[in-house]
A = this chain, B = another copy of it.
Amino acid sequence: MILSALLTSVGINLGLCFLFFTLYSILRKQPGNITVYAPRLVAEGKVQEGGHFNLERLLPTAGWVRQAWEPSEEEFLSNSGLDAFVFMRIFIFSLKVFAFGGIIGMFVLLPINYMGSQLSDDSDFQHKSLDSFSISNVNNGSNRLWIHFSAAYVFTGIVCYLLYYEYWYLSSKRIAYFYSSKPQPHQFTLLVRGIPVPPGTTCDETVERFFLEYHPSTYLSHSVVRRSNKLQRLVNDAEKLYKRLTHLKQKNDPPKRHRRDGCLGLFGRKVDIDHYERRLGDIEDNVRMEQSSLEAKEVRAAFVSFKTRFGAAIALHIQESVNPTEWITEKAPEPHDVYWPFFTVSFIKRWISKLVVFVACTSLTVLFLIPVAIVQGLTHLDQLETWFPFLRGILRLSVVSQVITGYLPSLILQLFLSFVPPVMIMLSSMQGYISWSQIQKSACTKVLWFTIWNIFFANVLSGSALYRVRIFLEPKEIPRILGEAVPSQASFFISYVVTSGWTTIASELFQLNKLISNFISKIFGGNNDDDFEPPSIPYHSEIPRIRLFGLLGVTYFILAPLIIPFLLIYFCLGYFIFRNQLLKVYVARYETGGEFWPTVHNSTIFSLILMHIIAIGIFGLKKLPLASILTVPLPILTLLFNEYCQKRFFPTFKNYPAECLINKDRADENEDNMPEFYDKLANAYNDPALMPIKFSERSDTHRSPLLHSSE
């Protein structure tokens, strides 16, 4: 790629971003789009739909940037929660890292690279290849490479310092957040599995007896988990029917009592309110019958609540039974965060499903590109002509054929890629996690590795998947192969940052999909406002994407520092856009207390190590073996640093220490409303499907869905 081509691409993409921003700043002010651009504010009742028309609505303004910038860190934290705060810290951390990296890269490394003559590129400045700005242009054996060598050490030092500071800062925030939190059911509750129920007794009795025996002073209550998925379905049906009924009744429109239920009321079966009411009554009868029979369908697991947080921690940390596969305790998630489509009690089953998921996830990651390549191969023009002969005329047009051959393969890749996060979520939920937050956290790691393998390594190491795997089976060869392959892809990744990075982040702001679906539902009706629920941020797909750009920046820092300015723009845009989105669009579905940070930390350490390995390879290729050898301590030191960080900070992100728990428990004792809280706690984890339901006569609020499903 030559410089002018890069500049053109930058220009086009800047224009696109600018267009998105302009459109956003106009569209967000239209009352009809308020559920797209500020659903959170709507849900919190801070903004009302509708409003008077004025001219200002049609003018693009940058007010949203100011609004996103204004709240202080503390305000943002209290407004959006610690998880969102940690998410924003990724941008701040990356900006710091690449500000330092940019200074060294642009003012020290770039001039040195440009002054080299290895590539003997004699074209004028505009037509210079981007490689002239990379380390490939430095002459072999040149002593100037020692500057790159020192830069690697300095940069690693800076990144490690920033990592340490950030881990320290966030762990103190986490403790502070815990201290400032109100008593919450999940702080006092454990999920206990593998309960050995002796014959002749019920699970209920066994749990009660065990905890009264071994934790008499702290045990409060428990609720046994039941196999309620059939019941759950019935209750959901009833709820849906009830909603529709209320909706129909509200319209209070006699002719519509008999209407068709399809699009625009023109098509579909004829329905009438009486019919609905009769069906609802039937379902309710079924639900009551199912509920009474469900009491017997106990699963050998229970939520056990304790009087104090410390009491729960004791039961959590100390192996309860002589057989460690029985009475397995685990922290309970927040009641509304419970999500276990594949819940199992058996120790062996869970262990096997973990193994199966591990194998499935690894093969998906490693072999993903094979089916993609096959499908891409099927979309050659002649193939399409055979399949759709009637399109032959159109396909022969040169514009159409160019578009198809140019965009179809990458469209297919994008299509396949878009399935990955949901698949990883499914795999994680099969793995035995019991809450949406844990599933998303685990899927986040899976998607991260997937992204690194299928975007970074797949582009760097061309060749079949098996070839790439084989490289990692010959550890000695890795530095040399990476040292050869990575620098040659520098210009690809620079343009990747500009095209893919900038536009995805701008489209995050613009929310095209939501906008269109909102528009369609407005026109065709059908969607009623009762169903409106503000979205939550998909950490499991956003964090890996952002971290990939971080990885690109770190690995290319000494190879092609030209990438860094573009990354700085990316992270800057990201900071403002995601701050805006987290304040206005996304609602936190759960609060893990910042448990996503260790993933970010680990991925940064991984990128550093990768950078070091590439440096070892490249110094070898550049005929400076001494620098190559002297780089070897760097990854070792980095790993040791990581080890220390894990020991120093990771425990805080896993569990709260005794000191905090006890202090918090003591603070509770002085609270007035603790008896009420204990009452609430005792019922917090009851299966909502077991609550008495009575839709037919009732018409006020509908039940809050606590437990979403259970096996």
Contacts and interface: CB of A to CB of B under 8 A. Distances in A.
B321 A657 contact: yes
A691 interface: no
Interface stretch (A73-81, A118-126, A310-318): A310-318
B652 A322 contact: yes
Contacts of A320: 657-659
Nearest to A347: B647
| Residue from the set A214, A310, A657 with the largest chain B CB neighbour count within 10 Å | A657
B214 A662 contact: yes
Interface stretch (A435-443, A473-481, A605-613): A473-481
Contacts of A325: 647-648
A387 interface: no
A324 interface: yes
A657 B318 contact: yes
Contact of A647 (B314, B318, B324, B651): B324
A175 interface: yes
A660 interface: yes
A657 B319 CA distance: 5
Given A355-B640, A640-B355, A318 B319 contact: no
B313 A651 contact: no
A314 B649 CA distance: 21
Contact of A657 (B322, B476, B657): B322
Interface in A643-658: 644, 647-649, 651-652, 655, 657-658
A677 interface: no
Contacts of A640: 355
A651 B326 CA distance: 12
A321 B648 CA distance: 11
A638 to B, nearest CB: 14
Given A351-B647, A647-B351, A322 B659 contact: yes
A214 B655 CA distance: 17
Contact of A474 (B313, B355, B474, B660): B474
A475 B473 contact: yes
A324 B652 contact: yes
A190 to B, nearest CB: 13
A318 B655 CA distance: 9
A319 to B, nearest CB: 4
A657 B318 CA distance: 7
Contacts of A652: 322, 324
B662 A319 contact: no
Interface string A213-257: 110000000000000000000000000000000000000000000
A322 B315 CA distance: 20
Interface in A629-644: 640, 644
Contact of A476 (B323, B473, B651): B473
A169 B651 CA distance: 34
A319 B474 contact: no
Given A315-B658, A318-B661, A348-B644, 16 more contacts: A175-B322, A214-B658, A214-B659, A310-B318, A313-B318, A314-B314, A314-B318, A319-B655, A320-B658, A322-B657, A324-B647, A324-B657, A325-B647, A473-B476, A474-B474, A474-B476
18 contacts: A175-B322, A213-B662, A214-B659, A313-B318, A314-B314, A314-B318, A318-B658, A319-B657, A321-B657, A321-B659, A322-B652, A322-B660, A324-B648, A347-B647, A348-B644, A355-B640, A473-B475, A474-B474
Which 8 residue pairs spanning A and B have beta carbons closest together? Answer: A317-B317, A324-B651, A319-B657, A318-B658, A320-B658, A214-B662, A317-B318, A319-B651
